């Protein structure tokens, strides 16, 4: 019974945690697209986003089991930068 309660607690905690990542990533991407959408086709952004991506991986790997807001924010930055890198490469190949 204790193991089952512990499993349910971890499952709910992980679900809320992942939900927060997507909310933060959506907010970050929403701000990014509304502020700097004309700059998306600049190839320099691929390099900047790649460095941000790697930096967030480094932060998150050190705090994988530490459920703190900073870890949550770094993972959401990781998700947002990953999606932005894909969008950047996609739009770069379409327009150039």
Three-state DSSP state, 49: helix
Residues making up the chain, counted from first to last: 96
Rounded CA separation 16/32 (Å): 24
Asked whether residue 6 carries a pLDDT value surpassing 60, the answer given is: yes
- Residue pLDDT, tens place only, 19-45: 666 666 666 666 666 655 555 555 666
Looking at residue 70, what is its pLDDT?
A: 56
Domain ranges of the chain: 2-95
> What burial class does residue 62 get, using C-beta atoms within 10 Å of its C-beta: 0-12 exposed, 13-18 middle, 19+ buried?
exposed
- Residue pLDDT, tens place only, 42-86: 566 656 666 666 666 665 555 555 555 555 566 666 666 667 666
Three-state DSSP state, 43: coil
């Amino acid at each position: 019974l204790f193991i089952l309660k512990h499993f349910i607690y971890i499952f709910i905690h992980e679900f809320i945690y992942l939900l927060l990542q997507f909310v933060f990533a959506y907010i970050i991407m929403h701000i990014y697209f509304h502020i700097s959408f004309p700059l998306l086709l600049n190839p320099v952004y691929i390099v900047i986003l790649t460095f941000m991506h790697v930096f967030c991986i480094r932060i998150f790997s050190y705090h994988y089991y530490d459920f703190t807001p900073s870890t949550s924010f770094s993972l959401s930055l990781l998700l947002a930068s990953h999606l932005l890198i894909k969008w950047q490469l996609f739009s770069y190949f379409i327009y150039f």
